[in-house]
Structure 1
Amino acid sequence: MLFAILLPGISMIFRGHVFKGIVCGVLHLTVIGWIPAAIWAVASYREDLAEQRHQETLRILTQQGRR
């Protein structure tokens, strides 16, 4: 998460959000835009973690339903 705060655009690109990463990187280039870009990157990171948890839960529930 520290990476998302320090380099928000690059952290988004590494997580597969290329277009969002480019827009966030452009926003990051301005001094005023760095704070919103960092908040956006952290929120995106947290959203990706929540999606992973959701997918894992669905996988487990699907496996239990087959029994």
Structure 2
Amino acid sequence: MLFAILLPGISMMFRGHFLKGLLCGILHVTLIGWIPAAIWAVASYREDLAEERHRETLRVLAQQRRY
């Protein structure tokens, strides 16, 4: 998460959001835009984590239904 705060655009690109990362990087270039870019990157990171937990939950539920 620290990476998302320090380098928000690159952080988003590493997680596969290339267009969002580019836009976030452009926003990050300005000193005033760095704060919203960092907030956006952290929110995107948390959303990716929540989506991953959701997929894991669905996978476990699907396995339980088979038994």
Q: TM-score, normalised by structure 1?
A: 0.99
1:40 paired residue number: 40
Shift of 1:27: 0.2
Q: TM-score, normalised by structure 2?
A: 0.99
Number of equivalent positions: 67
CA distance in 2, matches of 1:29, 1:58: 39
Verify: 1:56 aligned to 2:56, yes or no: yes
Structure 2 portions without partners, runs of 5+:
none
Structure 1 portions without partners, runs of 5+:
none
Percentage identity across paired residues of the two chains: 79
- What is the RMSD computed on CA atoms of the aligned residues? 0.3
Q: Hey, which of these two has a bigger chunk of helix by percent? A: 2
CA distance in 2, matches of 1:39, 1:2: 11
Shift of 1:25: 0.1
CA distance in 1, matches of 2:2, 2:63: 35
Moved over 4 A (4+): none
2:4 paired residue number: 4
CA distance in 2, matches of 1:23, 1:30: 12
